[in-house]
């Protein structure tokens, strides 16, 4: 969610800035774009696609998620010359580190989940089990590198409540910067 907002805002700012300067918007030139697409596929099949998600054991889902992270890192590394890409890389490294340290899934604590789903529904979740697509429910004291876990939430009253991590913030800032930046053509 935070990434979609950042992408949209970056595109709007980039388009606006180009228009203000009387230039056409310059789409960032991404090398190895196919790698980003390939990186998403393992994750898609074990987390988002219902039919294959039900068949994939947790170890395979964790492997697919970590593999996706590594491939996304390679894509970002090949494009590190773009303004904002190093910030995005920092986010990928932070997220990958906490996920690898916690068995391949992004840890989220019960208090954060309770704020999203409510007190009644949290009782149906078991500690140590996957919830959502890529998260694992872990108490703070059982989470390795808890500072990097999904622990932040949008302000109360925001129409869509979803937890995000420090790494997600860096990824979103990097993506925003990549799309918003328009180099001078004078």
Whether 185 maps to a domain, the answer reads no
Confidence (pLDDT) at 185: 56
Contact 95, 134 (CB under 8 A): no
Task: Dump pLDDT digits (tens) for 78-124.
Answer: 999 999 999 999 999 999 999 999 999 999 999 999 988 888 888 88
Q: Which residues pair with 10 in a beta bridge?
A: none
The pLDDT of residue 186 is above 70: no
Q: Confirm whether 108 is domain-assigned.
A: yes
The size of the chain, in residues, is: 186
Model confidence over 1-41: pLDDT tens digits?
789 999 999 999 999 999 999 999 999 999 999 999 999 99
For 37-56, write each residue's pLDDT tens digit: 999 998 888 888 778 877 88
Query: For position 66, what pLDDT does the model report?
Result: 94
Residue 117 in domain = yes
Question: Per the domain annotation, does 91 fall within a domain?
Answer: yes
**Per-residue pLDDT band at 125 (split at 50, 70, 90):** confident
Structural domain span for residue 135: 2-21+31-180
**Cβ–Cβ contacts within 10 Å for residue 42, how many?**
20
Tell whether 26 is covered by a domain.
no
Number of domains in the chain: 1
């Amino acid at each position: 969610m935070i990434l979609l907002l950042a992408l949209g805002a970056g595109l709007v700012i980039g388009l606006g800035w180009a228009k203000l300067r009387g230039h056409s918007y310059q789409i960032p030139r991404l090398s190895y774009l196919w790698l980003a697409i390939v990186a998403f596929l393992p994750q898609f099949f074990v987390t988002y696609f219902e039919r294959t998600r039900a068949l994939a054991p947790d170890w395979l889902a964790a492997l697919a998620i970590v593999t996706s992270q590594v491939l996304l890192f390679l894509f970002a590394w090949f494009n590190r010359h773009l303004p904002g890409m190093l910030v995005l890389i920092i986010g990928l490294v932070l997220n990958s580190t906490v996920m690898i340290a916690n068995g391949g899934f992004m840890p989220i604590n019960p208090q954060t989940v309770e704020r999203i789903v409510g007190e009644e529904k949290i009782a149906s979740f078991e500690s140590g089990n996957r919830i959502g697509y890529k998260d694992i429910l872990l108490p703070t004291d059982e989470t390795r590198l808890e500072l990097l876990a999904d622990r932040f939430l949008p302000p109360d009253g925001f129409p869509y409540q979803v937890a995000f991590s420090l790494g997600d913030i860096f990824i979103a800032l990097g993506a925003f910067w990549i799309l918003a930046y328009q180099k001078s053509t004078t």
